[in-house]
Structure 1
């Protein structure tokens, strides 16, 4: 799988989450059956801003040579986000009332973590020299 596909997929995934959190935070809380709290809505909007920012970073970097030492900061940032987020989601699913949506999100996060780990240890020049 090419880094361009990985970056595009992660950018689109984070953009969808970011837009939902930014523009529909209270509706998202209601969908989850949580108390609709304006302060929590603000926190979701702030998280949405982070997701949109990360999505823009990935979208802008999708054509950049990545792997090994190339674009290492972008790769490490994504790996950290998806690995830590995936582990937190996995723990929450195991210790809470796991939902289908939660398991799908967890799987998506852990798949992206694996893909970014692969990008980190793969040398891009060797991969493109075939």
Structure 2
């Protein structure tokens, strides 16, 4: 597993989600036929800020040696985020009956597996 490619892919994924939630919360809710109450819109915008921040963290850390004990907080934070979110999506997907949720769950589980490998294995110097 190339940690640099994983960091770049996750930063792009999170930044795209962050921008969407920050600037288009009503459109997101409309896509899922949900009412756009001021509270839900504000929560989505806060979630967008979180995703943008996490995406920026991953982008800024993409050149660090990540794995094992090196940059452990970054790899563990990403692993925990993607694993917990992936499991929550897998739990919710059957009841929601939306194919988008299944696709999102797969993306999260793949990122969780990648960050799990990076966090719990010895890093190798990769020249990119």
Q: TM-score range by the shorter chain?
A: over 0.9
Give the total of aligned pairs: 126
What is the aligned-residue RMSD (CA, Å)? 1.1
Runs of 4+ off more than 6 Å: none
Contact 1:26 1:38 in 2 (8 A): no
CA contact (8 A) 1:7 1:58 kept: yes
**Residues 15-26 of structure 1: matches in 2 within 5 Å?**
15-26=15-26
Give, in whole Å, the separation in 2 of the partners of 1:98 and 1:81. 23
Match in the other structure for 2:93: 93
Matches within 5 A, 1:87-126: 87-94=87-94, 96-124=95-123
- Cα deviation for residue 99 of structure 1 reads 1.5
Task: For 2:115 and 2:103, locate their aligned partners in 1 and report how far apart those are by CA, in whole Å.
Answer: 18
Distance 1:97 1:39 in 2: 21
SS in 2 for 1:128: coil
Take 1:98 and 1:72, find their aligned partners in 2: how far apart are those partners? 37
1:23–1:45 CA contact under 8 A, matched in 2: yes
**Could you give the per-residue CA deviations for residues 53-109 of structure 1, whole angstroms, max 9, x where no partner exists?**
000000000000011000000000000000000000100002x12212111100000
Q: Deviations over 1:36-68 (max 9, x none)?
A: 212100000000000000000000000000110
TM-score, with structure 1 as normaliser: 0.93
User: SS of the residue aligned with 1:11?
Assistant: helix
Match of 1:66 in 2: 66
**For the Cα contact (< 8 Å) 2:67–2:122, is it kept in 1?**
yes
